[in-house]
Chains A and B, each alone.
Chain A
């Protein structure tokens, strides 16, 4: 079945630097790729998403890029701030799961002051 691999599992960056989290998927028919942020003790919330007909999408300091050929997509956070500290989850919607989301294992992002 579909598998979504997410790397790294933990990422520590200096405040103000950029952070990149990468996910790979196996089903080339996957067509939707959201990113959710889960702060400590809180519920996951959607921060950005991208569909398979788009290569890049930006929203202020965050961006997502999609490489369909290589079957990977990445979350980019620029000018990181303490409030960016959280666990970030990627997901993909593969055809063989009836397009229901398959999730990555999460990346714990730590912003060092």
Chain B
């Protein structure tokens, strides 16, 4: 598969569950991003990794824990989430971790927290 893929596409979890979101990019890029997209709100940048090192962490609650084992894979580990965490979680990648590079997005994971 080409481009940026995300699994699962939909996820329903309780507040006490632990789950993980997975992102994989097949573009040979060096930077990967996690975004949160809520209805009628700006895209919220959560984490940026460049060459597998975390570059940005925009004051995201500790119940979200990212992992980047290599430049092609990115995970978002979730635990004890709140209902307000329900949103579309988008992964993106770019050639490098600088803003001038086009970001290529995955299809997103629609997360519902009950």
Contact = CB atoms under 8 A, between A and B. Distances in A.
Interface of A: 4, 6, 9, 32, 34, 42-46, 49, 51, 89, 91, 93, 97-106
B105 A105 contact: no
B53 interface: no
Contacts of B98: 99
Interface string B33-71: 000000011111100100000011010000000000000
A45 B45 CA distance: 16
A105 B40 contact: yes
Interface of B: 4, 40-45, 48, 55-56, 58, 90, 98-100, 102-103, 105-108
Contacts of B56: 97-98, 100
A100 B74 CA distance: 18
7 contacts: A4-B42, A6-B42, A45-B105, A51-B100, A93-B100, A99-B98, A100-B48
A90 B88 CA distance: 18
Contacts of A42: 107
Contacts of A97: 56, 58
Nearest to A92: B99
A106 B106 contact: no
